[in-house]
Amino acid sequence: MGHYFHLSHTFGPGPNTIVAAAQMIKKAVESGKFTKSDGALVFDGDRGTGVLDTPPDPRGGVMAEVNGGNACGPVDTAKVQVIFGDGTKKTYSLTPDRQNLMSYFQACADTNSARLSKEQIKRAEKSMETGNRKHLVSQLPGSYAVVMQPGTADERFIYGWKYKYFRMKYDELWKKGWRLHSLENYVYKGEVLYTAVFRKSNVAEMQLYGWSYNAYRKRYDELWKQGWRLHILNNYVLNGQVKYAAVFRKSTAAEIQLYGGSYDAYRKKYDALWKDGWRLHILNNYELNGQVKYTAVFRKSTAGEKQLYGWLYSSFRKEYDKLWEQGWRLHVLNSYRVEAKVRYTAIFRQSTSAEVQLYGWKYLQFREQFEEWWDKGFRVKILNVY
């Protein structure tokens, strides 16, 4: 299977003894193929494919010798001393990854620890993204916009899953202590797709998926009395009907909501509540019959806010850069289409945190860039799919 996805074995030519390993290193160095400092690379079988993060692998014979005949024994490093023709000596430490799937150690029978390196994974992904295995994966529908900030939280992701499969995964992750950090719904060919980010937590959650306004509002009022408040609220339009998806968490915070208002109605409400010390906790935009609608949840706060409503990208980005320099960062970002044009609604709050954004990327390209930033220590703050 590894070869199918363009992966090579981690080992090179296989010496059966430490003496044979020393002879191979000596020959490779004295022929000029490697320097003395890099002599162990003669056993790095996948280096030529661009995979540089797997250690040199002398195969099982050498490891069996240092472990009394058992290649999977407790000693994980073989010391190989080489005496070169000029009389100099060097000792090489060989520590193959015996859990790597592309070695011949078969994970030393510990299947729970079997793994690939990061660069092996990238090479396999590339075979599916741009190589001859790309027929195995499809470009998921929709465009992605994400805002990331520095963090160390572990995260799990679901991209564009149908409800049945999303719910199965949610239930599985719940039992393992994962909770929803972000949830996006969008409609593709008459079906609702779910994109979600999970983080480790033991908090309680209640969810509603795809409810009409009347049913949602009735349930909201019931849950309010029981001490539940909105953590996530999404709107989408399915067959001409506005649907609600909501995630609640336990809280005693006061909340005021506006559902499906026009911009004028929303702005009037916003300005009135601002004077009384209310700020945006959640803001959604969706298009219904050519009109942009606003759903908002307010909570008590004295935080300053800046807002941009329905801006095209070029204007939005220019204003974002100005606000960044003034110490404002994104608190809410909505990306949505109106008459085939992407619009941006954004709420900023004051902060000096670092921030990285990707706007309007297709799935495969988004995943590649997103994972690079994730590996650099950035985590999801806001995720939009439209």
What pLDDT does 381 receive?
A: 98
- Which domain does 266 fall in, by range? 138-385
Q: How many helices, marked H, and strands, marked E, lie in the chain?
A: 8, 17
How many CB atoms within 10 Å of residue 99?
Answer: 17
Q: Are residues 118 and 155 in the same domain?
A: no
Asked whether residue 133 is domain-assigned, the answer is no
User: 150 and 259: one domain?
Assistant: yes
Closest residue by Cα to residue 149 from 331, 368, 367, 359: 331
Same domain as 294, residue 258: yes
pLDDT at 371: 94
How many domains, the chain?
2
Work out whether the CA dihedral 26, 29, 30, 31 comes out positive or negative: positive
Q: Please tell me the predicted confidence (pLDDT) of residue 137.
A: 75
Pure H helices in 145-262: 163-175, 213-225
Q: What's the DSSP call for residue 261? A: E
Question: Same domain, yes or no, for 90 and 159?
Answer: no
- Domain stops at, among 128, 154, 170: 128
Q: Are residues 90 and 224 in the same domain?
A: no
The answer on 304 and 379 residing in a single domain is yes
163 domain residue, yes or no = yes
In this predicted structure, what is the pLDDT of residue 44?
Answer: 97
Note the pTM of the prediction, 2 decimals. Answer: 0.70
pLDDT of residue 128: 87
Is residue 64 one of the residues assigned to a domain? yes
307 in a domain, yes or no? yes
Is the residue at 272 inside a domain?
Answer: yes
What is the model's pLDDT at position 231? 98
> Within the chain, which residues score under 50 in pLDDT?
none
pLDDT given at position 131: 87
Nearest to 155 by CA among 125, 111, 185, 200: 200
Indicate if 269 and 327 belong to the same structural domain. yes
